[in-house]
Amino acid sequence: MGRIPKRSLAALFIIVNMLAVVACTTRIALSRSVHRHRPRLHRYARRHHSLSSKLSFPCPLWSSSFSLCLRHPRSSPTSRSLSATCSSASASTPPIAPRAPPMADAGVESNPLLRDFDFPPFDAVEAKHVRPGVLALLKNLESDLEELERTVEPSWPKLVEPLEKIVDRLTVVWGMINHLKAVKDTDELRAAIEEVQAEKVKFQLRLGQSKPIYNAFRALQESPDWNLLSDAQKRIVENQIKEAVLSGVALEDGKREEFNKIEQELEKLSKKFDENVLDATKKFEKKITDKKDIEGLPATALGLAAQTAVSKGHENATPEDGPWVITLDAPSFMSVMQHARNRALREEIYRAYVTRASSGDIDNTLIIDQILKLRLEKAKLLGYNNYAEVSMAMKMATVDKAEELLEKLRSASWDAAVQDMEDLKHFAKSQGAKESDDLSHWDISFWSERLRESKYDINEEELRPYFSLPKVTEGLFNLARTLFGIEIEAADGLAPVWNSDVRFYCVKDSSGNPIAYFYFDPYSRPSEKRGGAWMDEVVARSRVLSPDGASTRLPIAHMVCNQMPPVGTKPSLMTFREVETVFHEFGHALQHMLTKQDEGLVAGIRGIEWDAVELPSQFMENWCYHRDTLMGIAKHYETGESLPEDVYKKLLAARTFRAGSLSLRQIRFASIDLQLHTKYVPGGPESVYDVDQRVSERTQVLPPLAEDRFLCGFSHIFAGSSSYLSKRFFKMGRGAICRCFLCI
Quick one: average pLDDT of 351-380? Answer: 97
Closest by CA position to 172, among listed 64, 85, 46, 43: 43
Q: Using one digit for the tens of pLDDT, what is the confidence trace for 676-703?
A: 999 999 999 999 999 999 999 999 999 9
Query: What is the torsional sign of CA 346, 368, 283, 576?
Result: positive
Catalytic pick from 164, 449, 585, 614?
585
Report whether pLDDT(209) > 60. Answer: yes
- Scored b (16 or more CB within 10 A) or e, 136-162 reads bbbebbeebbeebeeebebebeebbbb
Q: Using one digit for the tens of pLDDT, what is the confidence trace for 304-342?
A: 999 999 999 999 999 999 999 999 998 899 999 999 999
DSSP state of 160: I
Percent of the chain with pLDDT over 90: 71
Q: What is the pLDDT of residue 107?
A: 64
Q: What is the pLDDT of residue 422?
A: 97
Report whether pLDDT(91) > 70. Answer: no
Q: Name 383's Cβ contacts closer than 8 Å, sequence gap at least 6.
A: none
Q: What is the pLDDT of residue 242?
A: 93
Percent of the chain with pLDDT over 70: 82
Quick one: average pLDDT of 393-418? Answer: 95
Report whether pLDDT(444) > 50. Answer: yes
Report whether pLDDT(707) > 60. Answer: yes
Report whether pLDDT(738) > 60. Answer: no
Q: Using one digit for the tens of pLDDT, what is the confidence trace for 510-532?
A: 999 999 999 999 999 988 998 88
Residue 724: pLDDT band (50, 70, 90) is: very low
Please give the mean pLDDT across all residues of the chain.
84
Report whether pLDDT(24) > 80. Answer: no
Helices (H) then strands (E): counts for the chain: 25, 8
Q: Using one digit for the tens of pLDDT, what is the confidence trace for 112-147?
A: 999 867 788 999 999 999 999 999 999 999 999 999
Residue 231: pLDDT band (50, 70, 90) is: very high
Report whether pLDDT(44) > 50. Answer: no
Return d(Cα 566, Cα 583) in angstroms, integer: 19
Between 383 and 61, residue with greater pLDDT? 383
Q: What φ, ψ does residue 647 adopt, rounded to 5°?
A: -70, -40
Q: Facing residues of 558 across strands?
A: 519, 536
Return d(Cα 381, Cα 383) in angstroms, integer: 5
Per-residue HEC secondary structure of 224-280 comes to HHHHHCCHHHHHHHHHHHHHHHHCCCCCCHHHHHHHHHHHHHHHHHHHHHHHHHHHH
Quick one: average pLDDT of 168-195? Answer: 90
Q: What is the pLDDT of residue 104?
A: 38
Report whether pLDDT(559) > 60. Answer: yes
Closest by CA position to 37, among listed 542, 559, 481: 542
Q: Name 5's Cβ contacts closer than 8 Å, sequence gap at least 6.
A: none
Q: What φ, ψ does residue 22 adopt, rounded to 5°?
A: -60, -45
Quick one: average pLDDT of 61-72? Answer: 28
Whether 585 is a known active-site residue: answer: yes
- Scored b (16 or more CB within 10 A) or e, 181-192 reads bbbbbeeebbeb
Quick one: average pLDDT of 576-580? Answer: 93
Q: What is the pLDDT of residue 149?
A: 97
148, 163 Cβ separation under 8 angstroms: yes
Quick one: average pLDDT of 250-272? Answer: 95
